[in-house]
């Protein structure tokens, strides 16, 4: 057994195909000064060709998994336009009289080495993006062919030293059983994309592998535990074949629950909605039985383009989602850029702490004309179904009132134009910063509903960047402080008589079901892939028993004890 890092869940069994690594043998010869212009022309042509290829790959991948994951290629496009990276290449050509491909190779090596020296796993993995873009550029400068994968006739497990997003985007998920990489971790772009495609993946084997894996070797990879078995015994094959078949059967069995109500054994009904960022994700959510949309991440309408979307463009997307929801509620969150979400055509100043900086509602209130365009489009779509508006990252009453003022201006404009909209449209806020929790009772008087964004809330409360591998072990959604904050928020909402839901990742964690039942939070919104699993858990849960377990957890002082208690509850109910 080889121990690695879990990149994407699931078990895969099959023959290995080892992807050759790019190896460039470039002559380090000087050029004549008269050839400099020709080298720059070759460089710029290679950049143009590479950019066009990346745009095509991004569009193709967007059609498969949606804009959130395909936006990874925005980082690749940004590298091709990065003035520091390009200046390094141009400087080598101009000052050292080296060929364009040699300059590109030296620039890649320089930046990759620099990133590798940083004591930050996230930055180490971003070095792979530079290598990916640089290798694409080198390929065009050298006229080298693409490395070809096996024909789509025989499923295989792909093995590589490292796997770039560009390479992964070309894979056919129907034939790639699993992925193994020597380099990379949970935050690598390839791991994110593998999860989106539903391909089991194990990474980070570089320091664990003694003998190289050969093409044709039989592999078992366990993406749940981050383990790989090379040419396993017959007994091990039988064991993991059973596990894999159980996983496949469970998926099939869960799909039967799509049309079943999410109700506990003793009659507590829960509403399970979906988090979406595209119409494609909405279709998946509806197939899995989603009761409406609890979070429509509208920022992805802004990302896959070169300019801000118009009122008409946004209206058409919102209208389609609202109509497809078939009368179920659709909660549309206003633009939430900044932090880790950037727009190529709207550069934000570099910040030491972008997650604490210029983002979300702060940008909207600073650029009110842009904000009003979005609110106008949402209002127009509200006549087609049940629409709610939600403001992100609210930390004060003033922000709500200022946002509502822009909303009322948009309503006034529509009134003057004689355009209909829902005049009683509900307004809510994300509860995702500690300040909002502490003053939840005051904020509740200003809005119609709360939605708890647990991802950012946990990050802010615990001061833990969950993308930082060095401290990721400190990111505990079931930390006692988080449970107390959830209770404070729920109590404030119930006292004020407003609706409350959860739309962060914790909503899709089946272990948290007893917590929601005890807190009286009956509206959960999650990724489409989590809907059936959480519904299955609810169908096998007794609400009164769950409340007792949750009360016990809320009184505990250690995350580990809370998680153990909730996992024990699941095991007990699964055995019955």
Q: Catalytic amino acids? A: 189, 503
Q: Which residues pair with 390 in a beta bridge?
A: 333, 428
Other C-beta atoms within 10 Å of 372: how many?
Answer: 17
72 neighbors 192 (Cβ within 8 angstroms): yes
The tokens of 49 are what?
């060709």
Angle at 37 between CA 35 and CA 42, to 5 degrees: 95
The residue whose two tokens read 């400087």 is 91
C-alpha angle 449/264/504, rounded to 5°? Answer: 40
Q: Are 278 and 67 in contact (CB under 8 A)?
A: yes
Nearest partner of 108 among 29, 221, 24, 41, judged by Cα: 24
3-state secondary structure 469-525: CCCHHHCCCCCHHHHHHHHHHHHHHHHHCCEEEECCHHHHCHHHHHHHHHHCCCEEE
Residues 6+ apart with CB under 8 A from 390: 295, 331, 332, 333, 334, 427, 428, 429, 430, 449, 451
Closest to 422 in 3D by CA, of 312, 329, 497: 329
* Cα(470)–Cα(127) distance, integer angstroms: 17
């Amino acid at each position: 057994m080889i121990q690695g890092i879990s990149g994407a869940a699931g078990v895969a069994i099959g023959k290995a195909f080892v992807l050759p690594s790019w190896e460039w043998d470039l002559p380090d010869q000087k050029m004549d000064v008269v050839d400099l212009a020709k080298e720059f022309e070759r460089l710029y042509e290679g950049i143009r060709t590479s950019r066009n290829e990346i745009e095509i790959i991004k569009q193709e991948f967007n059609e498969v998994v949606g804009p959130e994951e395909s936006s990874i290629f925005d980082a690749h496009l940004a590298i091709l336009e990065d003035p520091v990276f390009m200046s390094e290449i141009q400087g080598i050509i101009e000052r050292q009289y080296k060929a364009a491909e040699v300059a590109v190779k030296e620039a890649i090596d320089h930046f990759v080495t620099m990133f590798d020296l940083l004591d930050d796993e996230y930055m180490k993995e971003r070095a792979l993006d530079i290598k990916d873009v640089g290798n694409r550029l080198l390929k065009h400068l050298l006229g080298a062919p693409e490395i070809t994968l096996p024909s789509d006739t025989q499923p295989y497990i792909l093995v590589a030293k490292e796997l770039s997003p560009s390479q992964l985007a070309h894979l056919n998920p129907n034939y790639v059983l699993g992925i193994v990489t020597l380099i990379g971790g949970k935050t690598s772009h390839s791991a994110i994309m593998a999860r989106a495609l539903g391909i089991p993946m194990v990474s980070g084997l570089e320091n664990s592998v003694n003998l190289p894996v050969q093409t044709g070797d039989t592999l078992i990879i366990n993406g749940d535990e981050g383990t790989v078995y090379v040419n396993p015994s017959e007994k091990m094959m039988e064991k993991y074949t059973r596990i894999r078949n159980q996983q496949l059967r469970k998926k099939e069995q869960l799909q039967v629950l799509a049309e079943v109500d999410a109700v506990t054994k003793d009659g507590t009904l829960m509403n399970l909605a979906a988090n979406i960022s595209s119409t494609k994700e909405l279709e998946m959510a509806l197939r899995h039985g989603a009761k409406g949309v609890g979070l429509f991440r509208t920022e992805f309408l802004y990302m896959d383009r070169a300019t801000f979307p118009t009122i008409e463009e946004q209206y058409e997307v919102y209208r389609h989602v609202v109509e497809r929801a078939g009368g179920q509620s659709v909660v549309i969150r206003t633009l939430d850029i900044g932090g880790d979400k950037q727009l190529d055509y709207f550069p934000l100043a570099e910040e030491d702490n972008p997650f604490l900086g210029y983002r979300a509602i702060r940008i909207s209130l600073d650029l009110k004309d842009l904000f009003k365009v979005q609110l106008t489009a949402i209002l127009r779509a509200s006549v087609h179904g049940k629409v709610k508006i939600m403001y992100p990252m609210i930390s004060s009453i003033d922000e709500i009132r200022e946002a509502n003022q822009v909303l009322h201006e948009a309503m006034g404009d529509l009134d003057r134009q004689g355009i209909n909209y829902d005049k009683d449209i509900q307004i809510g806020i994300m509860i995702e910063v500690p300040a909002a929790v502490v003053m939840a009772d005051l904020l509740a008087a200003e809005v119609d509903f709360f939605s708890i964004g647990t991802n950012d809330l946990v990050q802010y409360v615990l001061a833990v960047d969950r993308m930082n591998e060095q401290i990721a072990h400190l990111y505990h959604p079931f930390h006692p402080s988080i449970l107390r904050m959830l209770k404070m928020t729920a109590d404030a909402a119930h006292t004020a008589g407003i609706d409350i839901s959860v739309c962060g990742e914790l909503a899709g964690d089946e272990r948290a079901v007893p917590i929601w039942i005890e807190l009286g939070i009956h509206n959960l919104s999650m990724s489409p892939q989590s809907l059936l699993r959480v519904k299955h858990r609810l169908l096998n849960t007794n609400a009164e028993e769950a409340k007792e377990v949750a009360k016990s957890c809320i009184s505990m002082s250690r995350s580990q004890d809370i998680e153990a208690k909730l996992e024990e509850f699941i095991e007990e109910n699964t055995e019955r």
